[in-house]
Chain A
Amino acid sequence: MNSYEWMVKYTSQTEWIKGGGMLVWLSFYAGILGSGSYLVSLYFNNLLGMLVSWLIIVVIKNGFHMAHAKRPMRMWRMILRPKSSWLSRGTIFIGLFTGCGFIQLILSYLLPGTPAEITFKLLTGIAVCAVLLYEGFTLNYIKGIPFWNSALLPVLFIFWGLLSGLALIATIGWSGADSSGLAAGNQLFLIATIILTVLYMWSASYAGAAAQESVKIILQGNLSLIFGVGAVLLGMIIPLIIWWLSSVVGQTLAVTILVCEIIGGLAFTYSVFKAGVYSPIISNDWR
């Protein structure tokens, strides 16, 4: 873009995807991956899965956030505005998840099945749902980028998180869970994600010229390869085919699915972040 085209033509957001901004994209994906995995691990009562997911959020996601902030010592202030700021709410949710999750993991290891463990499982489950939700709403709140201002975006983030979680559980192995149930669950979520992605792109193309421009960038522009190969092929189609062909997936295929899901999730979130464009303040047909 030439400098004289800034906010006269569609202007891409760069703060959260270019240079140091890539850390924000990575932290968002780590949050989606960790929270989805934790929820699935909670459902299948897989302690190792819960531990891995907890570490993904606490170490990796928070690590990326701290690395992005030039003033990390001030980050405690981010809990001060939960009334109006999604970032503030998210910080609180992550804090609650960290604390409750830590206690719950210890209780699950030492005192499984006790009322205390069940209580903390419930609290941690609520906190991790909130972590999974806040990310989509953080982007959804931004009216200036019409492509993000869609109610489907938080839902899509939830589904990508759960997809990755199911793949993680399949890789780690499940104890006492119904393997055919896991296969059916994966296929269901994959089909639902495909449908939701199509709906999201379709509805975005009706959400105004700027959102249409974003869809064009993803489907026909310089993001088409990343989105097509990464998000669609590796993230959705190949895992679906693998699950269809073998309802019982061995370790190797499970790792393949997990790698595909992670690449798919990264490609999807990258495409969403990168394709966010602002409507021009003035344009060629203004007044």
Chain B
Amino acid sequence: MSRWGMVIDLKKCISCYACMVACKQEHFIPPGVFWNRLLISEAGEYPRVKKMVYPILCNHCKKPVCVDVCPTGASKQREDGIVTIDSQECTGCQYCVLTCPYQQRTYLADTSKEYFPGQGLTKFEIIGQNLNPHEEGTVSKCNFCKDRIDEGMKNGLQPGIDRNATPACVNICMVKARHFGDLDDPNSNVSILIRVRNGYRLRTEWGTEPSVYYID
């Protein structure tokens, strides 16, 4: 069984925010909610200052604490490692939001916000509410574009190789900083990158074993 993971090449990332926007567009995410983010920090002192840019998203951890703490079972982990939330079962207690040490979950307090306040919903937003409704009072997060992966695999496509089976943020990256593939396949693109370029994960001391790696 595959275990989907992502590798992000920090040397290539130009912090253009295209991945953030592509994610919002793909899933019709309401204003103020982000499944993909960029963390930007600086290290060192003048004149030796280094700018650090980290695109972050749900790590789809191998040992997800958010799944353990969910009292209703709305948070689940699939066999392929993708952590999902069933909004029909979520009560909005937000225990998972608190427990995630990477803070990659968002509580949807208000899904009726407009991108252009006072001007009504755009056609895009109306389409989004029908195609991919986000339930108010529940928690949401990145799902590795599981619908694209599932649909692509049904059609014999390979996630990480074929665009129609690959997450939107990976597809949109114009500098090819993002890679997606099977971490359990030692010959996959992601496994090779991790091995050759010494891929690392953020905050491994928290013990959740993230599936998102970084190379620099």
Show the binding face of A for B, using Cβ within 8 Å.
4, 6-8, 11, 13, 15-16, 20-21, 68-72, 74-75, 77-81, 84-88, 91, 138, 141-145, 278-279, 281-286
Complex alpha-carbon distance, A21 and B109, angstroms: 11
Complex alpha-carbon distance, A144 and B202, angstroms: 13
Is there contact, CB below 8 Å, between B70 and A15? no
Is there contact, CB below 8 Å, between B72 and A281? no
Q: Which of B89, B138, B203 contacts A281 (CB 8 A)?
A: B203
Show the binding face of B for A, using Cβ within 8 Å.
37, 39-43, 52, 54, 56, 65, 67-74, 89-95, 97-103, 107, 109, 136-138, 202-203, 206-207
Interfacial chain A residues near B206, Cβ < 8 Å: 143-144
Complex alpha-carbon distance, A72 and B92, angstroms: 9
Is there contact, CB below 8 Å, between A70 and B137? yes
Is there contact, CB below 8 Å, between B92 and A70? yes
Q: For B67, B91, B94, B99, which residue has the most chain A Cβ atoms within 10 angstroms?
A: B91
Contacts A71-B92, A282-B52, A286-B41 given; does A7 touch B103 at CB 8 Å: yes
Contacts A7-B103, A8-B39 given; does A81 touch B93 at CB 8 Å: no
Taking the nearest CB of chain B, how far is it from the CB of A11, in angstroms?
7
Complex alpha-carbon distance, A248 and B41, angstroms: 61
Interfacial chain A residues near B54, Cβ < 8 Å: 281-282
With A79-B71, A284-B42 already in contact, 6 other A-B pairs whose C-beta atoms are closer than 8 Å = A6-B37, A70-B137, A141-B99, A142-B98, A143-B65, A282-B54
Q: Which of A6, A20, A145, A281 contacts B98 (CB 8 A)?
A: A145
Interfacial chain B residues near A75, Cβ < 8 Å: 91
Taking the nearest CB of chain A, how far is it from the CB of B10, in angstroms?
10
Is there contact, CB below 8 Å, between A77 and B91? yes
* Total cross-chain contacts (CB, 8 A): 117
Q: For A77, A80, A85, which residue has the most chain B Cβ atoms within 10 angstroms?
A: A85
Is there contact, CB below 8 Å, between A15 and B92? no
Is there contact, CB below 8 Å, between B203 and A71? no
Complex alpha-carbon distance, A282 and B43, angstroms: 10
Is there contact, CB below 8 Å, between B91 and A16? no
Is there contact, CB below 8 Å, between B91 and A286? no
Contacts A279-B203, A281-B202 given; does A85 touch B43 at CB 8 Å: no
Q: For A15, A279, A284, which residue has the most chain B Cβ atoms within 10 angstroms?
A: A15
Taking the nearest CB of chain A, how far is it from the CB of B164, in angstroms?
31
Interfacial chain B residues near A69, Cβ < 8 Å: 91-93, 137
Is there contact, CB below 8 Å, between B71 and A91? yes
Is there contact, CB below 8 Å, between A138 and B95? yes
Is there contact, CB below 8 Å, between B202 and A282? yes
Taking the nearest CB of chain A, how far is it from the CB of B163, in angstroms?
29
Complex alpha-carbon distance, A141 and B98, angstroms: 10
Taking the nearest CB of chain B, how far is it from the CB of A12, in angstroms?
11
Contacts A8-B40, A13-B98, A281-B54 given; does A81 touch B203 at CB 8 Å: no
Q: Which of B89, B97, B102, B202 contacts A15 (CB 8 A)?
A: B97
> Can you show 26 pairs from A to B with CB atoms below 8 A apart?
A7-B102, A11-B103, A15-B98, A16-B98, A71-B137, A72-B91, A74-B91, A77-B71, A78-B71, A78-B91, A80-B72, A81-B72, A84-B69, A85-B68, A85-B71, A86-B69, A87-B71, A143-B101, A143-B207, A144-B98, A144-B102, A281-B203, A283-B41, A284-B42, A284-B43, A285-B43
Complex alpha-carbon distance, A124 and B66, angstroms: 31
Complex alpha-carbon distance, A4 and B93, angstroms: 27
Complex alpha-carbon distance, A86 and B207, angstroms: 19
Complex alpha-carbon distance, A81 and B68, angstroms: 8
Complex alpha-carbon distance, A162 and B91, angstroms: 31
Taking the nearest CB of chain B, how far is it from the CB of A81, in angstroms?
5
Interfacial chain A residues near B99, Cβ < 8 Å: 141-142, 144
Is there contact, CB below 8 Å, between B69 and A141? yes
